């Protein structure tokens, strides 16, 4: 259900009934989309109200008018808190995933296929002073990796098997100076296993790429 459809469902109160949950959901929609004005095209005193393609009249319009008017006043008077860099980092890495292939299929060579997933990301430590800010996060990673060896354009070996799924923990330290990225240190768990080390490399690359691509850094 898109934003406009959900607004219409919330405002379908022909029996003059609405719950606190309806008002809370309307508030959440407004806060996250900031598009109420786009769909409420007419909110005049005592007039019909147009929301998307729907028109509300009479008692329905008065009830909706009062709900929205009160909500807008409350939201306009409540300052929006800026999201901290720590929260942005957690949101950036939580449930991040990536999959790709590399190498050559055929001939004499090897190709690789990998899928990387991050989860359970938490902020372990945060330090702020006048000259820099330091954030330390931890989380879990999971993967699927495959290696395929070719000779004479024929697949001759799959040394990592067909269902290799390395996993482990990761740690990332991010240093910023006045909100500008200065340094990233990433460490993923490694074991004496080529498939695990390959996956750990991809995890570290994914984390660094995700952080560097964020607009706030």
Please state, for a pLDDT cut of 90, what percent of the chain lies above it: 49
pLDDT of residue 104: 87
User: Which 8-state DSSP code applies to residue 79?
Assistant: P
Q: What is the mean pLDDT of residues 185-201?
A: 95
Q: CB neighbours (10 Å) of residue 195?
A: 21
Least confident span in 44-53, 59-68, 178-187:
44-53
pLDDT at 105: 84
DSSP 80: P
| CA distance linking residue 116 with residue 96, whole number of Å | 8
Bridge partners, 56 (sequence order):
49
Is the distance from CB of 94 to CB of 118 less than 8 angstroms?
A: yes
pTM above 0.85, yes or no: no
> For residues 27 and 36, what is the distance between their CA atoms, to the nearest angstrom?
10
More confident residue, 1 or 145: 145
Query: What are the Cα distances from residue 84, in Å, to 4, 138, 179, 182, 207?
Result: 30, 17, 10, 17, 19
Mean pLDDT of 119-130: 93
Q: Confidence band (pLDDT; 50, 70, 90) for 180? A: confident
Q: How far lies 14's CA from each of 6, 42, 48, 115, in Å?
A: 16, 18, 14, 50
Identify the weakest region by mean pLDDT among 16-25, 76-85, 158-167, 196-205.
16-25
pLDDT of residue 151: 93
Estimate to the nearest angstrom the gap between the alpha carbon of 26 and the chain centroid. 22
Residue 4 CB burial class (10 angstroms; 0-12, 13-18, ≥19): middle
Q: Is residue 215 predicted with pLDDT exceeding 90?
A: no
Mean pLDDT of the region 85-102: 94
Residue 169 near residue 183, CB atoms below 8 Å: no
Confidence of residue 34 (pLDDT cuts 50, 70, 90): very low
pLDDT at 44: 47
């Amino acid at each position: 259900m898109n934003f406009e459809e959900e607004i219409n469902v919330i405002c379908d109160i022909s029996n003059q009934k609405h719950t606190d949950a309806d008002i809370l959901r309307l508030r959440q929609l407004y806060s996250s989309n900031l598009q109420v004005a786009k769909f409420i095209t007419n909110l005049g005193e005592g007039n019909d109200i147009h929301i998307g393609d729907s028109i509300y009249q009479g008692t329905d319009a008065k009830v909706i008018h009062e709900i929205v008017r009160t909500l807008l006043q409350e939201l306009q008077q409540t300052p929006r808190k800026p999201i901290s860099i720590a929260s942005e980092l957690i949101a950036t890495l939580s449930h991040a995933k990536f999959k790709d292939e590399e190498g050559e299929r055929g001939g004499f060579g090897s190709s690789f296929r990998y899928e990387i997933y991050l989860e359970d990301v938490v902020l372990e430590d945060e330090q702020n002073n006048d000259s820099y800010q330091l954030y330390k996060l931890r989380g879990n990673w999971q993967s699927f990796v495959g290696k395929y060896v070719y000779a004479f354009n024929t697949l001759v070996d799959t040394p990592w098997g067909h269902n290799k799924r390395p996993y482990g923990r990761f740690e990332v330290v991010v240093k910023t100076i006045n909100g500008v990225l200065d340094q990233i240190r990433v460490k993923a768990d490694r074991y004496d296993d080529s498939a695990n080390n390959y996956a750990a490399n991809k995890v570290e690359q994914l984390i660094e790429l995700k952080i560097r691509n964020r607009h706030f850094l």
